Chain A
Amino acid sequence: MVDGQWLMKKTEAVQASCVNHEPSNINHPARRVMLREKYKTEIDHILSRYPVRRSALLPLLYLAQEEDGYVTEAAMKEIAGLLRLTPSQVYETVTFYTMLNLKPVGRFHIQVCKSLMCALVGSDTVIGWLNTRVGVGPGETTADKLFTLSVVECLGACGTGPMMQINDEYYERLTEDKVDRILADLKRDGTSPLKTGPFMWPEPAGERCQ
């Protein structure tokens, strides 16, 4: 994942931006909007929550990832400028966290939990199903950029395994049929009613979901 080139490409423009707090995107014509322009109110609100600017780093990285689908070099530079950090301070933080992507992922990022509790109830079988249905292995993205399949560690839903997260949603107590329905729903509608939550298991009397 380490994008070594990026570190070497620290241009004067970036260094200057860290001093002036005026980030620049000259190396990245692909990025049309600056986060600061598009999300001014949100960024101000985020900054207001913390007495120390650097605390806003993860929230701003999330904002950037939402905007671009992954954390781009341009976004890291811009955020460094906003928070008065060096680009490498931003980069070293990004590389620590698994949810921040340094390269693009598919439109639907499927993350299946393989930790012990899910493995006891069949997560490896689910990975196999997904593998054949989607046609790519763990860590890969389909050619049409629709799906990325990842195999991950515990997502905090161990009593309702096997489970997976797709983008922001959890899907739990998976069966083969359910996996098929979820994939079909996503392809057709971009979302699936089989997602779970607000979470409670076992469910209280009178409530029934899938």
Chain B
Amino acid sequence: MRQYELILTKNMMQPGYTGLREEYERAGGYQALRKVLGKIPPAGVTELVMKSGLRGRGGAGFPTGVKWGFLPKDYRGPKYLCCNADESEPGTFKDRQLMERDPHQLLEGMVLAAYAIGAETSYIYIRGEFVLGARILEKAIGEARAAGYIGTNVLGSGITADVWVHRGAGAYICGEETALLESLEGKRGLPRVKPPFPATHGLYGKPTVVNNVETLANLPHIVDRGPEWFASIGSPPKSTGTRVFCVSGHVKRPGNYEVPMGITVRELVYEHAGGMRSDKPLKAFIPGGASAPFLTPEHLDVKLDFESVAQAGSMLGSGGVTVMEEGTSMVWAALRLMEFFYHESCGKCSPCREGSSWLTQTLRRILDGRGRTTDLDTLTELCKNIAGRTVCAFGDAEVAPIESTLKYWRHEYEALIKAAAHHAVDGHGSGSGLLMPAGRH
């Protein structure tokens, strides 16, 4: 197996590393901050980040430096930085590890970002269930404050950079950046209509940057080792750096693997994650979290970078790679994800609110052997009327599992519907013979 240089997970791979401030400092931590304060102007830091080619790790892959550049230049009032630690996309579990194992790496990244954009106050919006993560961050913030890395007059520079932890309370949609802002303002997490974008009208209507945990954790390294170094890793020029891929499903060794962007799915699944868990071959995989369309064994040699995965008809998204073995029912898999989206639809836009319920019922009917011949057209039509017609990208996400399984495994839907028709005529029930774990479909 090829070994690659670890960047974000390097410290935590050291035996005994617990992520305390002194350990982080001993590993070279907070040097980037010292390098910047009083020496490089804020705009210079933004420039470094632009040059590095860093793109967001939260899902959309937007260039980080460019996003920062959208903030109004001569604005005098308060600006905010929000770290998106909601990690709610099914299949994604990297931010939890980055926060719980090396919290200061994130904090240093946040202070660097806050300095670059001129935010005196930053919030870490962490999903409510990550109680331990929130506690670890609180403790790390205390340590950093005591050492002068966070607070007023950071390292004697006169800069103020406060960081607070804000816990969510159970709602997938609060990972969407404007829903996150609403939630942070103490309201229901309903996404806002854009434009205006958070860069001009964000938290409390003030200029705001929202960045994912992994995105921010890259910053100390970019400052420390230079944007050229960073831009040489991965698939330059469009997908630079590493990704912490979260591998789940039917593999021998599920877990987080940090590798340069651009390695193939085959290498990630068969080498890093140890290959399939049994002798059953791979049937399907999702390359970037529940919102990314399913792909097939033909796509195993697709490179895991933003462009290649998009070209293959899916998206790199959050880096959650879920693998399914032969024998898994794709209709069942689509329903499982659809149930998630149905449960999590915030209810603001009718195509999504009503559509997710309708899609779920239709899928359940097909799977329960009550499918109708018109159901596939219904599904297709519904998907067409949801995607692109909602305030946020949730609408596009919820149709991905259905559209992609219909595209590659339409025969499975048809077999179930055909069996249902037979059953109705002559009383012979016939299942598809595919795995549909018992319980609530």
Contact = CB atoms under 8 A, between A and B. Distances in A.
Partners in one complex: yes
Interface of A: 49, 51-52, 54-59, 61-62, 83, 92-93, 96-100, 114-117, 119-125, 127-128, 151, 153-161, 165, 168-170, 197-202, 204-207
Contacts of A49: 164, 166
Contacts of A154: 88-91, 172, 290, 340
Interface in B407-441: 437-440
A175 to B, nearest CB: 15
Contacts of B40: none
Given A49-B164, A128-B438, A158-B246, A153 B340 contact: yes
17 contacts: A51-B78, A52-B204, A54-B185, A58-B169, A58-B183, A97-B169, A114-B439, A117-B320, A124-B439, A125-B438, A156-B95, A159-B248, A197-B132, A199-B96, A200-B12, A200-B101, A204-B12
A157 B91 CA distance: 8
A98 B171 contact: yes
Given A58-B183, A159-B246, A116 B129 contact: no
B255 A202 contact: yes
A59 B167 contact: yes
Given A99-B129, A153-B340, A202-B255, A120 B328 contact: yes
B74 to A, nearest CB: 21
A115 B187 contact: no
Contacts of A198: 18-19, 100-101, 132, 136
A156 B15 contact: no
A151 B254 CA distance: 23
Nearest to B14: A204
Contact of A125 (B16, B248, B336, B437): B437
B88 A117 contact: no
Contacts of A55: 166, 184-186
Given A97-B169, A127-B439, A199-B100, A117 B204 contact: no
Contacts of B101: 198-200
A52 B129 CA distance: 25
A169 B343 CA distance: 23
Contact of A200 (B78, B97, B129): B97
Q: Which 4 A-B pairs have the closest CB atoms?
A: A124-B439, A98-B170, A57-B186, A97-B169
A204 B11 CA distance: 10
Contact of A117 (B96, B167, B188, B249): B249
Interface of B: 12-19, 78, 87-93, 95-97, 100-101, 121, 127-133, 136, 164, 166-172, 183-189, 204, 246-250, 253-256, 290, 320, 322, 324, 328, 333, 336-337, 339-340, 343-344, 346, 437-440
A52 B13 CA distance: 41
A51 B287 CA distance: 40
Nearest to B19: A198
Contact of B290 (A96, A97, A116, A207): A116
Contacts of A199: 93, 96-97, 100-101, 132-133
A100 B167 CA distance: 12
Contacts of A153: 90, 172, 339-340, 343-344
B186 A158 contact: no
B169 to A, nearest CB: 4
Q: Which among A96, A115, A206 has the highest number of chain B CB atoms within 10 Å?
A: A96
B15 A204 contact: yes
Contacts of B17: 204
Given A97-B171, A198-B136, A200-B12, A124 B438 contact: yes
A157 B90 contact: no
A57 B250 CA distance: 41
A153 B15 CA distance: 33
Nearest to B333: A116
Contacts of A61: 169
B128 A99 contact: yes
Given A160-B254, A198-B100, 4 more contacts: A51-B204, A115-B336, A121-B249, A157-B93
